[in-house]
């Protein structure tokens, strides 16, 4: 069965510092990978996705992620964090099944930004 | 373009009652999925509907059910509520493309609503 691991439950960075959130997946076939962000009291917003091709994908809000098949990883990065980036971040693997799809999520990483 | 709309946003029920949550997808999106989010279990897939048919189901008891209408709007129902059903219930919609299941051209990429926060007392 597929699974997603986000090893860091909480991360604190200073505003302007770089950020890397870790994500490891376990899936036997070609992975479809996503990063979502959730602000307090809100739903999930898609940051970026990887299906195939270039292993470095660009997303919204200045985020990027790199797919590394050999390490089963899809880490999220941002060169300079803004206070508004404080939120919870979820990595997910998408499964095409039953004619449709479903996502398996990691447990999330709570990002705190110090001013 | 309006996003995914979920109603109600907040509700409180007591054990043993039932609840119905509603979801209106983005215009043109024909697939609707439901997820439950709790502090203990995280985000878990409930079910997915397309063309008024459930085509995927997660590992939840039969107390959890859903349906989809001809206009793609969806409802989910939880009967005989338990304390553990307290959660944020998230609905997501996605476009469907012809040619078989894939994520190409944005097909099956989920856009989530703000959720319905259910508290069971």
Print the SS3 string covering chain A: CCEEECCCCEEEEECCCCEEECCEEECCCCCEEEEEEECCCCCEEEEEEECCCCCEEECHHHCEEEEEHHHCEEEEEECCCCHHHCEEEEEEEEEEECCEEEEEECCCEEEEEEC
Q: A18: which 2 tokens?
A: 């770089």
pLDDT over 90 percentage in chain B: 86
| pLDDT grade for B99, boundaries at 50, 70 and 90 | low
Residues of B in contact with A43 (CB under 8 A): 4, 6, 90, 112-115
| pLDDT grade for B107, boundaries at 50, 70 and 90 | confident
Across the interface, whether the CB atoms of A46 and B111 are under 8 A apart is answered: yes
What would the mean pLDDT of B5-21 be, rounded to a whole number? Answer: 98
pLDDT at residue number B100: 66
Residues of B in contact with A104 (CB under 8 A): 45
Minimum Cα–Cα distance from A51: chain B residue: B103
pLDDT digits (tens, 9 = 90+) for B20-47: 999 999 999 999 999 999 999 999 999 9
* Higher-scoring residue by pLDDT: A99, A111: A111
Residues of A in contact with B89 (CB under 8 A): none
Minimum Cα–Cα distance from A3: chain B residue: B44
pLDDT at residue number A52: 85
Q: How far is A5 from chain B (nearest CA, A)?
A: 12
Q: What is the largest CA-CA distance in chain A?
A: 47
Specify the length of chain B in residues.
121
| The pLDDT of residue B55 is above 80 | yes
Q: Lowest-confidence range among A30-34, A65-69, A105-109, B109-113?
A: A30-34
pLDDT digits (tens, 9 = 90+) for A11-45: 999 999 999 999 999 987 778 999 999 998 889 99
Q: How far is B61 from chain A (nearest CA, A)?
A: 18
DSSP B4: -
Across the interface, whether the CB atoms of B48 and A44 are under 8 A apart is answered: no
Residues of A in contact with B31 (CB under 8 A): 100
| The pLDDT of residue B14 is above 90 | yes
Distance of alpha carbon B91 from alpha carbon A45, whole angstroms = 12
| pLDDT grade for A46, boundaries at 50, 70 and 90 | very high
What would the mean pLDDT of B71-92 be, rounded to a whole number? Answer: 98
């Amino acid at each position: 069965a597929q699974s997603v691991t986000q090893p860091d439950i909480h991360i604190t960075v200073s505003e302007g510092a770089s950020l890397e959130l870790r994500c490891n997946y376990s899936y036997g076939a070609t992975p479809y990978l996503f990063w979502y962000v959730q602000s307090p009291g809100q739903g999930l917003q898609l940051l970026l996705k990887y299906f195939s091709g270039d292993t470095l994908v660009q997303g919204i809000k200045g985020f990027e992620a790199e797919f590394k098949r050999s390490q089963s990883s899809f880490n999220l990065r941002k060169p300079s964090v803004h206070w508004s980036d404080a939120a919870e971040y979820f990595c997910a693997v998408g499964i095409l099944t039953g004619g449709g799809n479903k996502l398996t999520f990691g447990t999330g990483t709570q990002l705190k930004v110090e001013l | 373009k309006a996003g995914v709309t979920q109603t109600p946003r907040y509700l409180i029920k007591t054990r043993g009652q039932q609840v119905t949550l509603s979801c209106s997808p983005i215009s043109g999106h024909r697939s609707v999925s439901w997820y439950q989010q709790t502090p203990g279990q995280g985000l878990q897939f409930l079910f997915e509907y397309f063309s008024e048919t459930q085509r995927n189901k997660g590992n939840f008891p039969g107390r959890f059910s859903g349906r989809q209408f001809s206009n793609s709007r969806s409802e989910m129902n939880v009967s005989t509520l338990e304390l553990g059903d307290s959660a944020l219930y998230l609905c997501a919609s996605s476009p469907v493309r012809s040619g078989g299941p894939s994520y190409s051209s944005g097909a099956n990429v989920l856009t989530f609503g703000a959720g319905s926060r259910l508290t069971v007392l």
